[in-house]
Amino acid sequence: MERLIEILEDIQPGVDYENSQDLIDGHKLSSLSIISLIAELEEEYDITIPAVEIIPDNFNSAQRIMKMIERLQEEY
């Protein structure tokens, strides 16, 4: 989780990623930030994030992003 927070802060600094539950719904991450985030996550965690996974529910909090990463790692 610590590395995920670092990645998020590199892409979009100044957000409380530990506690925020509305990264997408609250417009804390832009669409360009999400594209960058997906590329970083795929490289860092050796996963592929299919288009069907790119939904607000999976990206609204660091905890949800981490759950998606763990689920994708188990699947592949």
**For the chain, domain boundaries:** 2-75
Domain covering 2-75 assigned CATH 1.10.1200.10 in the classification = yes
pLDDT of residue 3: 98
DSSP secondary structure string for all residues of 14-33: S--TTT-S-TTTTT-S-HHH
Helix axis angle, 31-45 to 62-75, nearest 10°: 40
pLDDT of residue 76: 72
pTM attached to this predicted model: 0.95
pLDDT by 10-residue block (mean), the chain, 76 residues = 98 97 97 96 98 97 98 92
Sort 5 into a burial class: Cβ within 10 Å, 0-12 / 13-18 / 19+. Answer: middle
Contact predicate 73/45, CB 8 Å: yes
